[in-house]
Structure 1
Amino acid sequence: MSALLPGVLVLAAAGGMTGCEKAAPPAVVAPTVITAIAIDTSAARPESGGGGASDAAGPARVTDQAFSGAVAARTDTELSFRVAGLMTSRPFQAGQRVARGAVLARLDDADARAQSDAADTAARTAADNLRIATIQRDRDQKQADAGLISAADRERSQQQFLSATGDNARAQQQRTSARNQLRYQQIIAEQDGVITDVRAEPGQTVAAGQAIYGFAIDGPRDFIAQVADTTVASLKVGMPATVVLNALPGRRLPVHVREIAAAANPRSQTYGIKLAFDRVDPAVLLGMSGTALLATSAQASGDGGPREARIAVPATALFHQRQSPAVWVVDPTAHTVTLRPVDVAQYGAHDVTLRGGLRAGEQVVARGVTVLSPGMTVTPHIDDGRAVLSVPIAPASAAETASAPTATSASAPASGAAR
């Protein structure tokens, strides 16, 4: 028994070494997350107009308030067929540019073409009958003047001419109507523009007036945002503002208020405003999201103390660490994420205003917050309104789960924004 013991120990040691040898873990791909830049909305400056008197609350100041929105075409319409039928062709896709006169879609036009051909034949026949009736009337008129035929014969040719004239007019109108019906089998672009949406497919039987495309006509662009009822009263048509687009974070684009909604949206209870860009910029594309900064009147503190910081982030960036609100902050060098507690000052329809915990210019995760863990390396992508999570995130290991702080997602009470 003692002689066998060393061999058993050797085999056990060899088995232990074999069990300890594990395959190398697969390479971890840094997931892509959608991020946004925190914007300082509390920068106050004295209201223009000189040294007017101030009230007990302090001098009037002008504060830039931030509102989320997106770029849209000044004129956006739906394109449809004027008649019902079976759609056989729809060559354009969303995002494609089209020129004036381009055929955007076609219906099966066999019946309409046959009716148009028949109407053409009837119109030619009616025109020939009118020509013959005209010749007969002129000849009978000359013969009647010479006393060669009776007045009844002349009257008969005159009636035939009038009948042929009516038949010809009716046939020409029917030919025009048939040609229009044939032309209605196509959707033709009447202006240059961009296809923004596709709503029907070839092979589908569509009704007259059913939308086939969403179409943005080339021309001026607007930035459309939603403001609260407590702010809309301080806005005026024509007042200047600034737009910062997520896709162009380093640029401040000058705009002015072009239109203010007369009534609140019944669902969100906010007022829509349209801001017109002061200059045409080819880098500003349809659908780009961003933030509008509008100067609104406010009262400064009477004690002359420092103003309180106000930082705006998208509502979808808000996360909860235990019972406290927090956001995922992206390190600009290492591209790692850190869950940082914040102090929420106000919940908006599309953004959240913070009074502490975050500095202006810092990059926060705006989409994908529910699948992150502290220290995770990510690939940040500034939100341009079209980005998506391109790489699924693997579940955290048991050790990471045990060491990570407890975090649960939560929606802003007033925003209701989905993660």
Structure 2
Amino acid sequence: MLIASLRGFRILGVLPLLFASAPAGADEPLSVEILRIDPRPSEITYTLTGTIEAVDDYPASFRDGGRIIEVAVETGDALERDDVIARVDATEAGARLRSAEAALQAAEAALVQARQARDRAANLLDEGNGTQSDLDAAVQAFLSARSERDQATARRAVARRAAEDTVLRAIEPAIVIRRSAEPGQVVPAGQAVVTLANRGPRDAVFQVPDIPELDAFLGSDVRLSPLDGGRGCDATVTELAPVVSGNGTVQAKVRIEGEAAGRFSIGQPVVGVVTLGRPTALVVPWTALTATADGPAVWTVDAEDNRVRLAPVKIDGYSDSGIRIAGGLSEGAAVVGAGSQYLFPGREVQPLEVTK
């Protein structure tokens, strides 16, 4: 949504009056509002509506997948590090872990026996009651048992990790911005269960019409306020999309840093007010505008004989307070405002009240 307003319009002619009826004598000067038009700097204010989005978000998923038995969070929940997000059925993973632990215990027992056999073979050889081949065989059996123990240790670590991975936990303080799975659902490895956003900066995202002042938005100050009321903040437009979308708008992002970011929640609708300076321009009131067969025009007053003529104009923009003129009028021109509906070419006029 876009609302535009112009400021900086200064009337240098006379104050307007309302006319109830046309004057009776066309040969007498008609009292009208006359405005001296000088170029004035102006501003244009845009009021935009948008939403709060996370600067950084990422999916949270199970390493091995499985059937979900619990999802412990809802959209909008704030999480601390290690908070439980969801669980999958741990029956199979628990069984693998118990089997791996039993295999490790057996491998450790075999290693103890192999070590004892090696030491015994070495002692017998030293006493002259054993042979080198017996020692070599005992050493080979010990090395094999140690290798089996190491492999069993690694298998137990994998099984333990798989058992731990049946519980999905937050890796940092975060906010849940989307929940994508429900209890009873079977999810493959890597499928998002929830989407998280960190608690850092926020972006207010707006769709801005593709207007001539678009480039001036980048770096402009914006006053942000929640759409439903509440404490707002001042921020800056940090990004403009390089392309125009299919609906004729351009995405603009306003970065919210620090403590102010905590005032806005992800997905919250917000209002942004941007005021941009515009180049100096001639501005006439709405009462001055009339039209010819060729387009818009205004009545100008000849300074020598106070008679009026129609001057075609080119319009640059509209607002509640006036009309920006892009061409057709010169600086200092005298233009008729209120009362212009009673004029015809050559009609003599006089000001209602002269303003110095």
TM-score w.r.t. length of structure 2: 0.62
* Aligned residues with identical type, % of pairs: 24
Q: Is the 8 A contact 2:6 2:320 kept in 1?
A: no
* Number of the residue aligned with 1:94: 75
RMSD: 3.5
Rg larger for: 2
CA distance in 1, matches of 2:76, 2:285: 45
The answer as to 2:148 corresponding to 1:167 is: yes
CA distance in 2, matches of 1:149, 1:264: 89
1:285 corresponds, among 265, 282, 286, to: 265
In structure 2, what residue type is equivalent to 1:211?
A: A
CA distance in 2, matches of 1:203, 1:220: 35
Q: Equivalent residues in 2 for 1:11-410 (5 A)?
A: 41-42=5-6, 63-230=44-211, 233-236=215-218, 239-248=220-229, 253-265=233-245, 267-268=246-247, 270-281=249-260, 282-294=262-274, 296=276, 298-301=278-281, 303=282, 305=283, 355-356=319-320
Instruction: Look up the SS of the partner of 2:259 in the other structure.
Output: coil
Question: Unpaired runs of 5+ in structure 2?
Answer: 10-38, 287-314, 322-356
Q: Is the 8 A contact 1:100 1:190 kept in 2?
A: yes
* Number of the residue aligned with 1:408: none
How much has 1:297 moved relative to structure 2? 5.8
More strand by share: 2
How much has 1:121 moved relative to structure 2? 1.0
How much has 1:81 moved relative to structure 2? 2.1
The 3 A distance-change label for structure 1 pair 151 and 354 is farther
In structure 1, what residue type is equivalent to 2:251?
A: G
The 3 A distance-change label for structure 1 pair 260 and 170 is farther
Instruction: Look up the SS of the partner of 2:271 in the other structure.
Output: strand
How much has 1:113 moved relative to structure 2? 0.8
Instruction: Look up the SS of the partner of 1:92 in the other structure.
Output: coil
Q: Is the 8 A contact 1:91 1:105 kept in 2?
A: yes
1:361-403 Cα shifts (integer Å, max 9, x gaps): xxxxxxxxxxxxxxxxxxxxxxxxxxxxxxxxxxxxxxxxxxx
Q: Is the 8 A contact 1:70 1:289 kept in 2?
A: yes
Instruction: Look up the SS of the partner of 1:244 in the other structure.
Output: strand
How much has 1:99 moved relative to structure 2? 2.6
* Number of the residue aligned with 2:32: none
In structure 2, what residue type is equivalent to 1:247?
A: D
How much has 1:285 moved relative to structure 2? 2.7
CA distance in 2, matches of 1:63, 1:288: 26
CA distance in 1, matches of 2:118, 2:248: 76
The 3 A distance-change label for structure 1 pair 272 and 40 is closer
CA distance in 1, matches of 2:144, 2:48: 71
